[in-house]
Amino acid sequence: MKTCFIFILTLLAYVPASAQSMHNTVLRWTSDKAENLKNSEEFQFASIFITSPTDVKWLQKNRQHTTVFSIVSAEGRWSDISKDGKLLLHVSEKGNGSTGSILLERTGQIVTISLDFSGLGPNAMKQKFRVTDVQKEN
């Protein structure tokens, strides 16, 4: 519960003071490009990540494919996503139970989301997505 509360507080830093209660704060992170961190190859890949206090949804292929990750725990504090900061989420993929991490990060004007499931073997995913927009989801 403490982890969810910290994550919610982090998300609230982005939402205006007149926003709804913290229990239903959801953000949509739009990405247009990705990088395979295993070989540094960049490629066009439109994705949307929707973060909530309990999970992260990764929408791909024009929303035709969705992967849902349950948040197991979180590390770090990011009180204002318009400023530099990061939040590391330890997650479990719903459906198959694969575990890994999702790093939400801003450095200067660059906002990224990194997925690290490298512990799953040689074909495991380790990618970084460039975020072009972050909006409050209704």
Task: Note the pLDDT of residue 10.
Answer: 43
Task: Note the pLDDT of residue 73.
Answer: 94
Q: Please state the separation of Cα 20 from the chain's center in Å.
A: 21
Task: Note the pLDDT of residue 17.
Answer: 31
Distance separating alpha carbons of residues 109 and 126, to the nearest angstrom: 22
Task: Note the pLDDT of residue 2.
Answer: 47
Task: Note the pLDDT of residue 77.
Answer: 78
Classify each residue of 78-107 as buried b or exposed e, where b means 16 or more C-beta atoms within 10 Å of its C-beta. Answer: beebeeebbbbbbbbbeeeebebbbbbbbe
What is the chain's length?
138
Locate the domains of the chain by residue range. 2-17+26-136
Task: Note the pLDDT of residue 9.
Answer: 39
CA dist list (Å): 73 to 7, 14, 99 = 9, 20, 11
Distance separating alpha carbons of residues 83 and 69, to the nearest angstrom: 25
Going from the first residue of the chain to its last (138 residues), give the mean pLDDT of each consecutive group of 10, the final group possibly shorter.
42 34 66 92 94 94 89 86 90 91 95 89 85 88
